[in-house]
Structure 1
Amino acid sequence: MPRPDQRPPATPEAPAPTSQRQAHAHIPTQAVIASFTHHADVPSACTAEDVVLGVDEAGRPMVYAVCYVPVARKDELRMSGVADSKTLDEEQRDALFDALARTAWAGWAVHACSPHDISEAMLRRTKYNLNALAHDTTVKLIQETMHRGVRVAEIYVDTVGPTDTYQAKLCALFPGVSVTVAKKADSLYPVVSAASICAKVTRDAMLRGWIFAEKGLHTLSREFGSGYPSDPNTTRWLRENMDPIFGFPGLIRFSWSTTANMLEQDATHVEWPIDKDEDDQTEISSFFVKAPPATRSRGGKKNQQIPEVVVHKIQTTRPADRDRFFKEMRAVHCLRL
């Protein structure tokens, strides 16, 4: 895994460099509405020897990645040139990721949470915040990796939330495994640096090649920058492409504070009626009614009242099928503006 040399970027007419084509091979070629997970083939060395595993994430949409190598190969990984993905340019990251993917003793996996799924989690009545989502995604990736026969002996994680609490949680879930949760782990541990490269390459490739699920948006500008609020190209794209009624296409998280503030300030004010799916929930006790008390002899006592329960069927009417856009945007009927 040599550190990549600088190469001139490919012209628009030329095919992408081999490393870039291979580095992006796991990215879906259709619109990403649901979250997805990809596991690379498990190297045989990682099922025969103890393994060190690193976890890191990249931006939003949240892309989490794990990378793992045999403990005996840690020094080789360090010498390969892997580093915190934020310190590398795009071409270096792609080349390092491609080299990692071709290394016989290294394995990796990624999980990308779609903007739709993140927004749905954060905007529902019982909120599922980003920290909880990050923790659960990390645990899921580690568990799936171990279920594939990988002999995980050491885990290194870049912290999300309080370090001690997160480490205690992972230690309880993975007894017998050495767990280290640390701030800036991507710059301290090469295996976490490698995971950060996997996550960043996946995240950037998804954004660059994004396919809009909504019809009629194929001509929409793709000059949306890095996707981070500190990037002026990103905020400019958001302002230029915000619909005053519908907001943004599915690429954008409606739960993102940046977009929420823009909608609050510049979009048409709408008063939403109560969401019947969540706010008009019927208590389980309402499905039962007490029948007139019966009397019977019990335990030598006469005329003891025994309450009985009668189940009543609830008639429901299936609503008319709605356009997928309104389902995904969680839109409900509004009587007036």
Structure 2
Amino acid sequence: MSQSQDTSTQPVATEYIPPSVSSHFPDLHTGNSYAHYSPIPTNITPNTPSNRGTPVILGVDEAGRGPVIGPMIYGVAYLPIELQHSLLAETHHFDDSKVLTPLVRARLMRTLCTPTTDLHSNVGWAIKSLSAQDISAGMLKFGGSYNLNAQAMDATIEIIRGVISQGVNVAEIFVDTIGRPDVYQRRLAAVFPTCRVVVEKKADSLFPVVSAASVVAKVSRDVSCEVLWRGIREGRQVGEAGAMDVDGLAEDEEEAGWGSGYPSDARCVTWLKGNVDEMFGYGAECRFSWGTVKDLLEDKNRAMQVDWAEDDKEHNKLSQYFGGGVMGAKTEEQELRSWFGSGVKEVF
């Protein structure tokens, strides 16, 4: 889960739109997070009540942790343990997605999703897409305690559990780290005690299965961002009849107008400055908890400012309207019960 920035803006949707995006156009445009799982490959035997299935190695990586625009996507890839190096590294040359060109990444993803190929019959994959809207809402909840690291951990656990729930015999888990590898590894080992768990920095360049997960995540995010941008530009949901073919976009389409989506990208900042709605700010494509967006929304020349009435100093707790007490003077059970009247035994 490397945080290094990939500012490549070459269109990838002109090459291939994977099912992790084409099957979820409504979710993208409404700002919903979602998960997508491939079918179990034909060469992987699932678990049965009487027998364990094919032992697989599973890799996890993310794309889009730092951008102000678009989803953060966690990708996983899994395959029989003995095929990791021969199939992924030697035959198809998977590597950290940041060192592969957009064209190479897209073609690897297409092969992975194409029946009759060796990748399709041996490698399963999945993604968890965390929308910009949900990321920001989570970060602002509970005084900011549900930060990006906590959301990342939950997404990682969810997507691994999702694969296991399909009946896949996950024996080994390799993860590119966020934060300290030892802390992250202990947490995942506690959640998946029957699996060998390895968490390392730069895992996407060390382990081919994590490289494959990196490609899955990166292609899914790049195409998601392009779909979002084209939907905004055209004023409709991309994916409606006539708006986009799932095999690609028209070759003469220009590159995504917001560049890489990172706050340090001049094209991104220019787009943000020129596309703020004075009343509603931005749509589901922007992470409104990011400082870049906050600053623009507080700019009186770009967004409407609202003055909120101050709270009544004498009645700053709702509970004071019910029984005259303050929150904490009664137990939660007593407090809730009094909102709906006193019990019969209390009256008589």
TM-score class normalised by the smaller sequence: 0.7 to 0.9
SS in structure 2 at match of 1:180: strand
On the 8 A contact 1:159/1:183 being kept in 2, the answer is yes
2:286 to 252, 256, 273: 252
Q: How many residues align?
A: 279
Give SS of 2:198's match: strand
In the alignment, is residue 204 of structure 1 matched against residue 222 of structure 2? yes
3-state SS of paired residue (2:228): coil
Once the two structures are TM-superposed, the CA of residue 144 in structure 1 deviates from its matched residue by 0.9
How much identity, in percent, do the aligned residues show?
37
How far is the alpha carbon of 1:264 from its aligned partner?
3.4
Deviates more, 1:264-273 or 1:136-145: 264-273
Match of 1:29 among 19, 25, 29: 25
Tell me, in whole angstroms, the C-alpha distance in 1 between the residues paired with 2:163 and 2:294. Answer: 36
Q: Give the Cα separation in 2 of the matches to 1:243 and 1:253.
A: 15
The AA in structure 2 aligned to 1:149 is G
The partner residue of 1:105 within 122, 130, 149 is 122
Alignment correspondent of 1:81: 93
In the alignment, what sits opposite 1:333?
none
The residue type equivalent to 2:161 in the other structure is Q
1:134 alignment partner, one of 152, 158, 179: 152
**Aligned residue type for 2:112:** L
The residue that corresponds to 1:270 in the other structure is 306
- Is 1:94–2:106 an aligned residue pair? yes
Counterpart of 1:43 in 2: which secondary structure?
coil
**What is aligned with 1:147?**
165
Query: Where do 5+ consecutive residues of structure 2 fail to align?
Result: 1-9, 47-52, 238-253, 320-326, 342-348
- Find 1:194's aligned residue among 207, 212, 223: 212
**Which ranges of 4 or more aligned residues in structure 1 deviate by more than 6 Å?**
211-216, 286-290
After TM superposition, give the deviation of residue 105 of structure 1 in Å.
0.8
- Radius of gyration: which is bigger? 1
Q: Is the 8 A contact 1:55 1:64 kept in 2?
A: yes
Q: Secondary structure at the match of 1:176?
A: coil
Instruction: Tell me whether 1:58 sits opposite 2:63 in the alignment.
Output: yes
Contact 1:23 1:97 (8 Å CA) reproduced: no
Q: Distance in 2 between matches of 1:85 and 1:288?
A: 53
CA-CA distance at 1:113 after TM superposition? 0.8
Match of 1:325 in 2: none
In the alignment, residue 156 of structure 1 is paired with which amino acid? F
> Alignment RMSD, CA only?
3.3
1:23–1:98 Cα contact (<8 Å) kept? no
Distance 1:16-1:289 versus aligned 2 partners, 3 A rule = closer
* 8 Å Cα contact 1:27-1:205 kept in structure 2: no
The Cα shift of 1:184 comes to: 1.2
Q: 2: CA distance between counterparts of 1:72 and 1:216?
A: 47
C-alpha separation in 1, matches of 2:196 and 2:334: 55
Give the whole-Å Cα distance in 1 for the aligned partners of 2:307 and 2:193.
Answer: 50
Tell me the alpha carbon deviations over residues 177-216 of structure 1, each in whole angstroms, 9 at most, x when there is no partner: 1111111111111111100111111111111011789999
The structural deviation recorded for 1:114 is 1.1
Q: CA deviation at 1:261?
A: 2.6
What residue number does 1:118 align with?
Answer: 135
State the alpha-carbon separation in 2 of the partners of residues 74 and 215 from structure 1: 42
SS of equivalent to 1:209: helix
**What residue is the counterpart of 2:78 in the other structure?**
68
SS of residue paired to 1:206: helix
Please, which of 243, 249, 257 is the counterpart of residue 223 of structure 1?
257
Q: Measure the CA separation in 2 of the matches of 1:185 and 1:274.
A: 51
The answer to whether the 8 A contact 2:61-2:210 is kept is: yes
Greater RCO (Cα-Cα under 8 Å, separation 6 or more):
2
Q: 1:142 is paired with a residue of what secondary structure? A: helix
Give the alignment's TM-score, normalised by structure 1. Answer: 0.73
- Asked if structure 1 preserves the Cα contact closer than 8 Å seen for 2:33 and 2:134, the reply is yes
Distance between the aligned counterparts of 2:98 and 2:104, measured in 1? 11
Find the partner of 2:340 among 313, 329, 335.
313
Question: Using the alignment, how far apart are the partners of 1:50 and 1:109 within structure 2?
Answer: 17
Kept in 2, the 8 Å contact 1:214–1:250? The answer is no
1:49 and 1:151 in contact (8 A); partners too: yes
Counterparts in 2 of 1:279-294, with a 5 A limit?
282=319, 283=327, 285=330
Give me the whole-angstrom Cα distance separating, in 1, the residues matched to 2:186 and 2:208. 23
